[in-house]
């Protein structure tokens, strides 16, 4: 016999489920803000507004479109993709819940088919689309279209339905993918010089948003009906040297954590070298590769020797070396 006789257990379970549902629709804006700023440096003006907007949209009980349709614009290597990853990790618990599409790979007519599958009667019809099929298994995701201006025109037709109605029909199966629990992020480097000048002249975010929409319309980068689908357009600022140094520090610390090692100190010459090469590439992903290629061997050695905390210094020949750090009791 149960220790407590509850008259209507089904009703209790229903009440508990409803409470969990309500809690799931609440976001601690301050906590989210802090989490995103730990990963994304130099773009506080975006993070502050973004967290407030997502908190409001996340709290809705019913939706007929995605939680948010966002466009990130600005120069390369300013944190656009990193912010998308940070949002995914915070809201959906794991970066792996992000679907990322490099639109330079979807510049041909076959791009549309790759996303929503091959029509019935054609080879591969049962495989489904690279966009639709993952959404069937888990509709709670962030979907990122990187450098969207490079995509084939037919991809934009899909975006009209996805961003407007929150749904896409997969060719072949005829099943409908639901995007009303997803966040859609598009990034673009188009017109970044013109947009950058606007950002220097306009402080008001609403006025800047409107001005950027006008620039993109006049340039023909996006069709007007696509531009009207964006809930917000966020302009990323170029990063100063201090911010780039902090970002390099974050990447280095993360590389250490991946090897199970805490990096307490690192020689500034090593960071300078990584930053210099990374800036020439103008790609944040290149910075991650550089950190791993220059420090990976040392970090693995530290792990193999059982070091939990290390400093990375330069030996007499100017080569990086690891020095174990004893932690105080």
DSSP string, 83-131: HHHHHHHHHHSSGGGEEEEEGGGG-STHHHHHHH-PPTTSTTGGG--TT
Tokens 């990193």 belong to residue:
82
Domain assignment present for residue 259? The answer is: yes
Considering the domain architecture, whether residues 92 and 130 belong to the same structural domain is answered as: yes
- The pair of structure tokens assigned to 137 is 């298994």
Residue 52 corresponds to which tokens in the numbers above? 């407030």
Pick the closest to residue 192 from 162, 248, 147, 156 (CA basis). Answer: 147
Structural domain containing residue 121:
24-235
Cβ–Cβ under 8 Å, residues 173 and 187: no
Backbone angles phi, psi at 101, to 5 degrees: -125, 120
Select from 203, 235, 267 the last residue of a domain: 235
Give the pLDDT score at 303.
Answer: 93
Which of 235, 257, 286 lies at the terminal end of a domain, its last residue? 235
Measured torsion, CA atoms of residues 273, 287, 284, 89, in degrees rounded to the nearest 10: -130
Q: What is the pLDDT of residue 98?
A: 96
Nearest-angstrom CA–CA distance, 309 and 77 = 30
Say whether both 39 and 106 belong to one domain.
Answer: yes
10-residue averages of pLDDT along the chain (329 residues): 57 57 71 94 93 93 91 91 95 93 89 83 70 94 94 90 93 90 94 91 89 92 92 92 86 90 91 79 69 89 92 91 79
Question: The domain that contains 256 carries what CATH number?
Answer: 1.10.8.60
CA dist., res. 235 & res. 233, Å (int)? 7
SS3 content of the chain, % helix, strand, coil (to 5): 55, 15, 30
Asked, for residue 111, whether it belongs to a domain, the answer is yes
Q: How many beta carbons lie within 10 A of that of residue 113, not counting itself? A: 19
Which residues, in sequence order, are CB contacts of 124 under 8 Å at separation 6+?
117, 118
> pLDDT value at position 5?
56
Give the CATH number of the domain where residue 200 resides: 3.40.50.300
Show Cβ contacts of residue 205 under 8 Å, excluding neighbours closer than 6 positions. 45, 49
Please, what's the b/e burial string for 135-156 (b: 16 or more CB within 10 A of its CB; e: otherwise)?
beeeeebbbbbbbbbbbbebbe
Q: Is residue 136 part of a domain?
A: yes
Judgement on whether residues 258 and 226 belong to the same structural domain of the protein: no
Question: Do 231 and 245 sit in the same domain of this protein?
Answer: no
Q: What is the structure's pLDDT at 26?
A: 81
**Distance between CA atoms of 164 and 66, rounded to whole angstroms?**
8
The reply to whether 307 and 166 lie within a common domain is: no
- Residue 279 located in a structural domain: yes
Contact (Cβ atoms closer than 8 angstroms) between residue 115 and residue 108: no
The reported pLDDT for the residue numbered 213 is 95
**Same domain for 246 and 229?**
no
Q: Are residues 230 and 247 in the same domain?
A: no
- Domain contains 219: yes
In a domain, residue 140? The reply is yes
Whether 9 is covered by a domain: the verdict is: no
7: in domain: no
Same domain, 76 and 145: yes
> Per the structure, how many domains does the chain have?
2
Give yes or no: residues 251 and 220 share one domain.
Answer: no
């Amino acid at each position: 016999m149960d220790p407590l006789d509850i008259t209507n257990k089904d009703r209790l379970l229903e009440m508990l489920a409803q409470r969990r549902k309500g809690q799931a629709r609440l976001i601690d804006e301050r906590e989210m803000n802090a989490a995103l700023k730990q990963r994304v440096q130099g773009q506080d003006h975006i993070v502050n507004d973004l967290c407030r907007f997502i908190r409001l949209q996340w709290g809705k009980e019913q939706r007929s479109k995605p939680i948010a349709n966002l466009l990130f614009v600005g120069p390369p290597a300013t944190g656009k993709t990193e912010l998308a990853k940070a949002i995914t990790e915070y809201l959906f618990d794991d970066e792996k819940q992000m679907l990322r599409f490099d639109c330079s790979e979807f510049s041909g007519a076959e791009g549309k088919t790759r996303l929503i599958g091959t029509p019935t009667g054609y080879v591969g019809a049962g495989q489904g689309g690279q966009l639709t099929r993952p959404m069937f298994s888990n509709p709670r995701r962030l979907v990122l279209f990187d450098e969207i201006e490079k995509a084939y025109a037919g991809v934009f037709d899909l975006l009209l339905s996805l961003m407007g109605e929150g749904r896409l029909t997969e060719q072949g199966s005829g099943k409908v993918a639901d995007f009303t629990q997803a966040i859609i992020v598009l990034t673009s480097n188009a017109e970044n010089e013109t947009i950058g000048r606007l950002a220097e002249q306009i402080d008001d975010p609403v006025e800047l948003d409107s001005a950027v929409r006008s620039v993109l319309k006049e340039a023909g980068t996006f069709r007007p009906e696509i531009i009207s689908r964006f809930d917000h357009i966020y302009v990323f600022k170029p990063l100063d040297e201090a911010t780039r140094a902090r970002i390099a520090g974050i990447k280095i610390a993360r590389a250490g954590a991946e090897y199970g090692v805490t990096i307490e100190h690192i020689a500034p010459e090593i960071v300078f070298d990584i930053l210099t090469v990374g800036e020439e590439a103008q790609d944040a992903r290149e910075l991650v590769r550089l950190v791993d290629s220059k420090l990976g061997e040392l970090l693995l050695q530290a792990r193999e020797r059982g070091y939990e905390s290390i400093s990375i210094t330069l030996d007499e020949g100017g080569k990086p070396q690891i020095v174990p750090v004893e932690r105080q009791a």
